[in-house]
A and B are shown apart, each in its own frame.
Chain A
Amino acid sequence: MTAPTAPTTPPAPTTPVAPAAPTDLLYSETEEELRSAVRALLTDRCDAKSVLARAETDRPHDPELWRTLAVGIGAAGLLVPEKLGGQGASHREAAVVLEELGRAVAPVPYLTSAVLATEILLGCDNAEATSLLRELASGRTVCAPAVPLTLAPGAPPPTPVRDLGDGSLTGTVTSVADAVAADVLLVLADTGLYAVLAASARLTPQVPLDLTRPLATVTLDAAAGTRLADPGTARAAVAGALLSGAGLLASEQLGLAEWCLTETVGHVRGRHQFNRPIGSFQALKHRLARLWLDVASARAAARAAADALATAAPDAPLTVAVAQAYCSGVAVRAAEECVQLHGGIGMTWEHPAHLYLKRAKADSLALGTAGHHRGLVADFAELPAP
């Protein structure tokens, strides 16, 4: 039992990685208030039963819920400056919203419209983009980037869409998340970035693994687009948006993992077998204690990413890559443990565990896999492949 207490000063890093700037890893009072508002709304309007019922219809999104979240609470405009009609908040607040949305596997286009599309538009400095941004910030318009959900930061964006001249766009993009809920699509074509009315595109819903984030194939056949950026600006804007999206997805994964842990702990405390609560067996206690450790660590990683994005820290790309490389796996593990430790009920359609497992697994592919993000870590930390 006797143990050393004062380990030697750890060796100084010999790394080319710049020392991390002071990072605020806690939640401010304002952030906690925002969380309470979002959680109250979701508790009221987005319980597991209604999410499941809606997922089985051909309208998986909940437009009423979106309106209250986006307009009522003002969550759609968190990343948009006040002078452009937004809340002038930051990634830290958006991260808190995503934690709650993850906890409820809410079928709303927040990550796509309020984060990815919003960040792309923030990267385009012109009147058309600004006016669209105002509409997004107000929550009246939903906008989805017409890129595959798997598109990752650091990966070259594919440009399957060609401009036939004068913004007449033709091409097909697969796995576009939330396209069916969008009013406007942001299309990356060979000649730049375009806004295209969703009504002028052909949307073919795909059957998604994650029922709460619908996917569609977007087909453009000489569709009219409004040009928002030249190819260089467009690429930079999309790259910035993917970085933010990946960093904030970590918070969604955190919320999701937290729900799975809490739900599972509650279950094993109440479920009796062999004349005792199954949560008193060490085999289960140790699994849940390890999962709790993982979730506590995921919280630090996700908060670090949100703070690095909010403060535009020079090492934000590394911090985001670390958060994604870590939190993806934690969310999947939490959902898998949730299914397993619920026993038979965890395999049923009736219990919501499967919604979380499907979201977690799909999230682990969204915006780059953990392996892709570890590759980015290798670049940033100068740990090159053989």
Chain B
Amino acid sequence: MTAITADQLLARVRGLLAAHPPADTDRTDFLRARFDAGLAWVHYPEGLGGLGAPRSLQAVVDAELEAAGAPDNDPRRIGIGLGMAAPTILAYGTEEQKHRFLRPLWLGEEVWCQLFSEPGAGSDLAALGTRAVRETDSGDWIVNGQKVWTSSAHTARWAILIARTDPALPKHQGITYFLCDMHAPGVEVRPLRQITGEAEFNEVFLTGVRIPDTHRLGAVGEGWAVARTTLMNERVSIGGMRIPREGGMIAPVAAAWRDRPELRTHALHQRLLELWVEAEVARLTGERLRQQLVAGQPGPEGSGMKLTFARLNQEISGLEVELLAEDGLLYDDWTMRRPDGVDFTGREAGYRYLRAKGNSIEGGTSEILLNIVAERVLGLPPEPRDDKDLAWKDLAR
């Protein structure tokens, strides 16, 4: 079959809209019809919400649906499922797993979270110590350990989980990837209050959690390769958002500058202009990256976008607090809450400043990402490492 064209896709979208007019259709019914028409994620295979179309054509579908006032699947609430779990299940799942999990994931009927990081395994994720031991009689896996920085764990029905299945092997080799039922006995989720006063994240304690072998993703001991697929998709989705000129973090600062002339100083003006220029250049860099992807010539620039946005978000939000003078001394609300999504730019300046501190830590610290750029893009040699061939159980911790 030759790839579907934009016109054919548009015809399909119009057919969907005609058969299920958004104004008269229940939201869930519409989303189900959209998924079954292959218009959920067009680059996925037929039968799994897609049509095997080029990924770039998704924009055509989204624009047409948005113009028709169609409901969406609230991607903000199910970001980890869409951005990380789904592409990994698609790449490594069995047919049963793909058919069981992808539809409710996309529809938002089942929220996903990611059980990767641990108190003792951050940047060195492959050193993780959560153990999965196979029970001889049942063939099930019994999992014990602790995970941390888990967004959406309190709303999630499922988790992608990596655990150690062979401590005698070097750290990258003894890991296996699982799909974990968050409602299973032994899963305990505790909010982890953060710098903003909220608890976006959680700690997850796993005590004797039973996972059937049918919920293993990929082969035993191949979990690191599977996890890398997840992590690549994570970084793409963090750095890849499209923003208009003067959109994102710079917007509220520019607005405050225009609205409140009494706050202006020469020193702040110079910094504002430098950051405005950098934000515009970052926007253009992201735009160029997208044009390269559409033209089928993806560049390595993607590896850098998250680094740039982390630094700019922090500098710009820092400037905003300073610009606000007396108001910069205030904070909107320290109440401990558990939001069901993530918001970098919402609320007030103090929140933006504090939340942005996470941007250079979450999804790979900026220091680790600089190593990745240096080694994979520039071809610089890795630092000498003595941990690669050591058995995990013999590592210092």
Query: Which residues of A approach B to under 8 Å, CB–CB?
Result: 1-8, 10-15, 17, 19-20, 23-26, 265, 268-269, 276-277, 279-282, 284-286, 288-290, 292-293, 296-301, 303-304, 322, 325-326, 371, 374-375, 377-378, 381-386
Contacts and interface: CB of A to CB of B under 8 A. Distances in A.
Given A4-B342, A374-B277, A285 B252 contact: no
- Among B82, B274, B371, max chain A CB count under 10 A is at B274
Contact of B301 (A3, A286, A290, A296): A296
B116 A2 contact: yes
A40 B346 CA distance: 52
A261 B308 CA distance: 18
B56 interface: no
A265 B247 contact: no
- Among B270, B364, B380, max chain A CB count under 10 A is at B380
B108 to A, nearest CB: 12
A20 B245 contact: yes
B265 A386 contact: yes
Contacts of B26: none
A5 B84 contact: yes
B343 A8 contact: yes
Nearest to B301: A296
Nearest to B372: A289
Interface stretch (B90-98, B137-145, B285-293): B285-293
B304 A2 contact: no
Interface stretch (B44-52, B236-244, B324-332): B236-244
22 contacts: A1-B114, A1-B116, A2-B149, A2-B362, A4-B79, A6-B237, A7-B342, A10-B241, A12-B244, A12-B251, A13-B251, A15-B251, A25-B291, A265-B379, A279-B381, A292-B373, A292-B378, A293-B307, A299-B288, A300-B285, A384-B261, A385-B264
Given A13-B251, A20-B245, A303 B381 contact: no
B320 interface: no
Contacts of A297: 281-282, 284-285, 308
A340 B113 CA distance: 46
Nearest to B365: A1
Nearest to B266: A386
B129 interface: no
Contact of A6 (B75, B362, B384): B75
Interface in B103-142: 113-114, 116-117, 122-123, 125
A282 B383 contact: yes
Contacts of B276: 377, 381, 383
Given A4-B151, A280-B380, 8 more contacts: A3-B362, A5-B79, A19-B244, A20-B245, A26-B291, A280-B383, A378-B273, A381-B276
A277 B379 CA distance: 12
A183 to B, nearest CB: 38
A289 B297 CA distance: 21
Interface string B61-104: 00000000000000110111011100000000000000000000
Contacts, number: 234
Contacts of A281: 383
B200 interface: yes
B130 to A, nearest CB: 13
Nearest to B306: A3
B374 A285 contact: yes
A285 B380 CA distance: 7
A293 B79 contact: no
A382 B384 CA distance: 51
A326 B277 contact: yes
B292 A26 contact: yes
- Among A280, A281, A371, max chain B CB count under 10 A is at A280
A293 B373 contact: yes
Nearest to B117: A1
A385 B269 contact: yes
Interface residues of B, number: 90
Contacts of A3: 149, 151, 234, 238, 358, 362-363
Nearest to A381: B276
A248 to B, nearest CB: 17
B384 A5 contact: no
A147 to B, nearest CB: 26
Interface in B248-304: 248, 251-252, 254-255, 257-258, 261, 264-266, 269-270, 272-274, 276-278, 280-282, 284-285, 287-288, 291-292, 295, 297, 299, 301, 304
- Among A2, A374, A377, max chain B CB count under 10 A is at A2
B251 A10 contact: yes
- Shortest beta-carbon contacts, A-B, top 10: A6-B79, A4-B342, A3-B362, A5-B83, A3-B363, A5-B79, A285-B374, A1-B117, A386-B264, A13-B246
Interface in B147-185: 148-151
A6 B374 CA distance: 27
A99 to B, nearest CB: 15
A382 B284 CA distance: 20
A25 B270 CA distance: 28
Nearest to B307: A293
Contact of B272 (A286, A300, A325, A383): A383
Contacts of A383: 254, 257-258, 269, 272-273, 276
Nearest to A7: B344
Nearest to A285: B374
A322 to B, nearest CB: 5
B375 interface: yes
A303 to B, nearest CB: 7
A382 B273 contact: no
A286 B343 contact: no
Given A2-B116, A19-B245, A296-B301, A7 B377 contact: no
Given A289-B374, A383-B254, A322 B83 contact: no
A385 B380 contact: no
A4 B200 contact: yes
B268 to A, nearest CB: 8
A20 B246 CA distance: 10
Contacts of B384: 276, 280
A226 B322 CA distance: 57
Interface in B213-242: 231, 234, 237-238, 241
Contacts of B244: 10, 12-13, 19-20
A300 B281 contact: yes
A290 B311 CA distance: 11
B22 interface: no
- Among A17, A276, A289, max chain B CB count under 10 A is at A289
A378 B247 CA distance: 17
Nearest to B309: A7
B341 interface: yes
